Structure 1
Amino acid sequence: MKQLKWFVVLMLSALVSLTFMGHAVAAEDSEQLAVSFSEKRSIKLDLSIKQAGLKRFRFDSGYTFNYPDAVRGIYLTGHSAGGSRFETLVNLLNETELNAMVIDVKDDHGNLTFKPDESSPFYDIAKNYINDPKEMMAVLEENEIYPIARIVVFKDTVLATKRPDLSFKDGNQVWKNNRQEAFVNPFMKEVWEYNVAIAKYAVEMGFMEIQFDYVRFPEGFERRDDQLTYSQGDYENHELDNVKKRVEAVTNFVEYAKDELADYGVDVSVDIFGYAATVEETPGIGQNFSRISEHVDVISSMIYPSHWTNNYFDIPVPDKEPYRLTVEYSKVENEVLAQLDHQPTSRPWIQDFSAPWLYSGATFIYGKKEVEDQIRALNENGIDEFLLWNSGNVYTEGVDYTPLN
């Protein structure tokens, strides 16, 4: 029954009416399968759709968005997208060269940030942060703001709690990191299907791009590999060591997601640690920069200067030298991407926040100059797109986001 549940989730976006979009797919006169998600809800599936593999399907949300000359975006939580800050951030984009928003659809805890129809299998994991998704999308369309849906994949405390068999166990308990966050298991294809079904939901909302984040195992997993209990699923009998198996699982998820979304007419992007571009592959988390890049339209390295160890690229304190750090990273990334047959668009995440945890004394403060230095360094190295990260969604005023113009 559990297997059927996630099959239903996978097929949902092509088969179920979305109340906030008003689109429906009519069932043909063919064999039907009814699956209950709760005592109150059931959904009928057309089995012929499964046989067709959902190919040749393209969804029209009813909204019109055009890809900008170059994406220059900011990040919004569900709270910001559905609250009073939304108007402020829309005004910021209207008054500057910024033109895109990355909005949480599935957040860092594993919750949807809006309430779908009660018949949805995602209803129980949803929060009402964005009260009116239709109105939000209409505002984005009216202001010509390019919409990108952020979906946090394998960091998912909600799903791990509901389905410990899809997570990692420490004894009899679901394992959590020191921030009390749980992860689900990238080896489990049910988890793949679950997240791609949510991605299709986002497409139907009107988003033009799906950005998958936390496409990885937990940090430091190589130190916990022998301590935690988990399934390797179909990878159990692969003739690979555990490091290579993790790389295969993460890469295969990205390839699967790109294939599943291919006929929806949207771009697929993945957030990835910046240092992944500087090594063959990350031993614990399973990220291989080149292999992931081969399967996406956009690769978004998180290159925040504060996140590099001291003396990386021979820079004593990278957080204090955002221009130099970004230049050195850009050179490496350009070299790696140039070797690929399929080169995605590079759109790094850059830093618009200060990092007091790095300093015992006065904190090096990020302001207008530091943000512009990162953008200038990218532009000078042929990278025209970027995304600004500030977890509180408060962005520096007065920044020139096209400093070379």
Structure 2
Amino acid sequence: MVVSSLLVLPSNSFASEAEQKTAQKHRTHVTKVQTYTLPDKIKRFSYDSGLTFKYPDAVRGIYVTGNSAGGSRFNKLVKFIENTELNAMVIDIKEDRGNLTFKPDPASPYADIAKNYIEDPRKMLETLESKGIYPIARIVVFKDTVLAKKRPDLSFKENGKVWTNGNGDAFVSPFKKEVWEYNVGIAKMAAELGFQDIQFDYVRFPEGFERRDEELEYDLGEYKNVELSDVKKRVQAVTDFVSFARKELEYYDIDVSVDIFGYAATIPETPGIGQNFSKISSNVDVISSMIYPSHWTPYFGIDFPDKEPYRLVNEYAKVENEVLGALEHAPKSRPWIQDFEAPWLYSGAPTQYGKAEVEAQIKALNENGIREFLLWNAGNTYTKNVDYTPLK
């Protein structure tokens, strides 16, 4: 970018002859400013939380609920990480129902949605800092029963009442910018506490939305008159939220990451939930595909993916590499992998996910050049004695 300046003053018919001569002199005078080229990355003023975390050689993390982070299990999980090649925690800050997992200042607009799971989040982060454990804040966005019940106008309604899915969960609308600002406000609090990465989850419409689109009542907001199909409108809204969040969080100099369904990488865009893998990836620092083998129906020619974790992850990684490789600015890939059983898939005993199955997934990622990953276990009970760097 080249910077220069030209100073020109307008004439004034009411000025004296002397003033007009002075003005004429300035009109023909070029003020020369030193020309320079701005660097690609300008060092800017950014927020300093007072905590210092070094980005690991590759993030290898575990999921931690608010209950675990604020309870006796926290110290056990810290020791677990210290005794392995793991180095990061993804900690719930806004959980699946829509509650905060810590109490902010009583004057905060979020005080009424807060649970006291993590009594002192700053102290928790200071512990992670001292142990060299990288902190990532998980914020569930559009799945939000608490906000939907409080503000039905921001949600989806059926027969005048807030609609809920089969699990009793309500969603708020990605079309509503007030919802965007609400969640980004929580992200800013997390950044100010000292988290180094804001991970947005449930960045989507409810599953199967394309089948109930015409049945539900909701406000399209600024997207009402946009000349796009319903599918494209959903994709645009979700993508716009991600772009908005990243821009709003620039000041904090942190990474922005998004969780996304694994199958989204294999199709142009999801028809119901509004996820376009390439568009979301282009607007984040980290993309975290949820590639749990248990969550796939027959795919990639694999009849029962849960029984073949290595093969499923290997086939997925090939597709993701191709999609990300086509982007001008590709984010880091940091997939979610499986460290749990899926008994709902079986009539008898399910495939056990232990050392061999977890290592198989990591090995498949590593062989495809994907070095980062996150382990999911809803109860935060992780397999012991796993080699988390199998190719080293």
Residue in structure 2 matched with residue 143 of structure 1 by the alignment: 131
* 1:247-305 deviation per Cα after TM superposition (whole angstroms, max 9, x unaligned): 00000000000111112110000000000000000000000000000000000000000
Letter of the 1:280 partner, please give it: P
Runs of 5+ unmatched residues, structure 1: 1-55
In the alignment, what sits opposite 1:315?
302
Match of 2:207?
A: 219
Deviation by residue 1:220-260 (Cα, 9 ceiling, x = unmatched): 00001000000110000011110000000000000000111
What per-residue deviation string (whole Å, max 9, x for no partner) do you get for residues 316-371 of structure 1? 10000000000000000000000000110000000000000000112111100000
Q: Distance in 2 between matches of 1:263 and 1:188?
A: 24
Q: Which residue of 2 aligns with 1:295?
A: 283
The answer to whether residue 85 in structure 2 is matched with residue 105 in structure 1 is: no
Aligned to 1:342: 329
1:395 aligns with 2:382: yes
Report the equivalent of 1:67.
55
For the Cα contact (< 8 Å) 1:72–1:385, is it kept in 2?
yes
Alignment match of 2:344 (pick from 357, 360, 364)? 357
In structure 2, the residue matched to 1:330 is 317
User: Match for residue 372 of structure 2?
Assistant: 385
Once the two structures are superposed, what CA deviation does each residue of 1:161-203 show, in whole Å capped at 9, x if it has no partner?
1000000000111000000000000000000000001000000
SS in structure 1 at match of 2:174: coil
Tell me the equivalent position of 2:64.
76
Give, in whole Å, the separation in 2 of the partners of 1:369 and 1:268. Answer: 32
The amino acid that maps onto 2:91 is I
Q: Distance in 2 between matches of 1:122 and 1:284?
A: 30
Task: Within 5 Å, give how 1:6-405 maps onto structure 2.
Answer: 58-310=46-298, 312-405=299-392
Residue type matched to 1:255 in 2? S
TM-score normalized with structure 1 length: 0.86
Measured in 1, the distance between the counterparts of 2:378 and 2:97 equals 14
Aligned residue type for 2:383: T
Query: Identity over aligned residues, as a percent?
Result: 72
Work out the CA distance in 1 between the residues paired with 2:122 and 2:55. 20
Residues in 1 aligned to 2:370 and 2:336: alpha-carbon distance in whole angstroms: 12
CA–CA separation in structure 1 for the residues paired with 2:73 and 2:163: 35
Higher-Rg member (1/2): 2
Distance apart, 1:57 and its partner CA: 5.7
The residue type paired with residue 259 of structure 1 is K
Contact 1:57 1:264 survives alignment (8 Å): no
Q: Aligned partners of 1:112 and 1:361: how far apart in 2?
A: 38
- Work out whether residues 74 and 102 of structure 1, in 8 Å CA contact, stay in contact via their aligned partners in 2: yes
CA–CA distance in 2 between the matches of 1:230 and 1:134?
38
Tell me how far apart the structure 2 counterparts of residues 349 and 136 of structure 1 sit (CA, whole Å).
Answer: 24
Q: Measure how far apart 1:64 and its partner are.
A: 0.6
For 1:160, give the aligned amino acid: A
**Alignment RMSD:** 0.7
Deviates more, 1:287-296 or 1:257-266: 257-266
Q: 1:157 and 1:239 mapped to 2: Cα distance?
A: 31
Q: Distance in 2 between matches of 1:191 and 1:117?
A: 21
* SS of alignment partner, residue 181 of structure 2: helix
CA contact (8 A) 1:167 1:230 kept: yes
4+ residue stretches of structure 1 with deviation over 4 A? none
8 Å contact from structure 1 (residues 221, 285) kept in 2: yes
Any conservation in 2 of the 1:157–1:183 contact (CA below 8 Å)? yes
Q: Does the CA contact (< 8 Å) of 1:213 and 1:271 recur in 2?
A: yes
How many angstroms does 1:111 deviate by? 0.5
Distance (whole Å) between structure 2 residues aligned to residue 57 and residue 353 of structure 1: 43
Task: Find the aligned partners of 2:45 and 2:307 in 1 and give their Cα distance.
Answer: 49
Which stretches in structure 2 are left out of the alignment for 5+ residues? 1-43
